Chain A
């Protein structure tokens, strides 16, 4: 399996622009997570889906952030409008039911810089 695939790997954008990050999960995994990593706050869970349905979005920082999972093989995280404080690495991760001890597999991350 190719693993969790994220795109773009790197993005530099200007403040105010819309940013869309994409994720293709491992086939058969019914849980999908979006995390954000910064030096100041470490690794934060933004939102997760089970069977394409958002289960917990309490980590989404504000209305500028939105996430969708239109089908089992694709998810997006959108920031509109972007701000410099959104600069971070955004990870997508997928798994089978984690509480059963299943491993969560991470993508290589999307490195976002907002200038």
Chain B
């Protein structure tokens, strides 16, 4: 079945460091791909998404490119801030099978130190 694998955390960085959180997927067909962020005590919020191969999603300085050849959707940010501390979830929405669901990775906790 469809699945998402993202790098295990926690990840601890200093402010202004470069961030990469790896995400790979297995899916039938061509899914849409998402990154969600969960700040402490809150629900999940969409950070960015890409709906077809080679699309780049971007928001708040974060970017991820839909790579069909490597089945990946890695999240990057050039210079993280303390306010980016949160849990990040990679997810896919399949076009086959259960079309009404998002399949989430396990989440990666990011802590940014001043």
Give the distance in Å from the alpha carbon of A33 to the alpha carbon of B42 in the complex: 17
Binds B, one of A12-20, A65-73, A76-84, A95-103: A95-103
Give the distance in Å from the alpha carbon of A45 to the alpha carbon of B45 in the complex: 16
Main secondary structure of the interface of A (DSSP, over half): strand
Residues A108 and B43 in contact, CB atoms below 8 Å apart: yes
Residues B94 and A99 in contact, CB atoms below 8 Å apart: yes
Residues B98 and A56 in contact, CB atoms below 8 Å apart: yes
In the complex, chain B residues 68-114 whose Cβ is within 8 Å of any chain A Cβ: 89, 93-95, 98-102, 104, 106-107
Residues A55 and B107 in contact, CB atoms below 8 Å apart: no
Residues A45 and B42 in contact, CB atoms below 8 Å apart: no
Q: What 1/0 flags go to A72-115 for Cβ under 8 Å of B?
A: 00000000000000000001010001111101111111000000
Closest approach, in angstroms, between the C-beta of B30 and any C-beta of chain A? 10
B22 within 8 A of A: no
Residues A42 and B49 in contact, CB atoms below 8 Å apart: no
Residues A98 and B106 in contact, CB atoms below 8 Å apart: no
Give the distance in Å from the alpha carbon of A42 to the alpha carbon of B8 in the complex: 12
Q: Write out the residue numbers on chain B whose beta carbons fall within 8 Å of the beta carbon of A104.
A: 46, 102
B32 CB contact (under 8 Å) in A48, A55, A101: A101
Q: Given A43-B89, A91-B43, A106-B43, answer yes or no on A98-B102 (Cβ-Cβ < 8 Å).
A: yes
Q: Which residues of B approach A to under 8 Å, CB–CB?
A: 31-32, 34, 36, 42-46, 49, 51, 89, 93-95, 98-102, 104, 106-107
Q: With contacts A33-B102, A106-B44 known, what are 16 further pairs, Cβ within 8 A?
A: A4-B43, A42-B104, A42-B106, A48-B101, A55-B98, A97-B99, A98-B32, A98-B99, A98-B100, A99-B31, A99-B95, A101-B51, A103-B46, A105-B46, A106-B43, A108-B43
Can you spell out 11 A-B residue pairs with CB atoms less than 8 angstroms apart? A42-B106, A42-B107, A43-B44, A48-B101, A50-B100, A99-B31, A101-B32, A101-B49, A103-B46, A108-B43, A109-B42
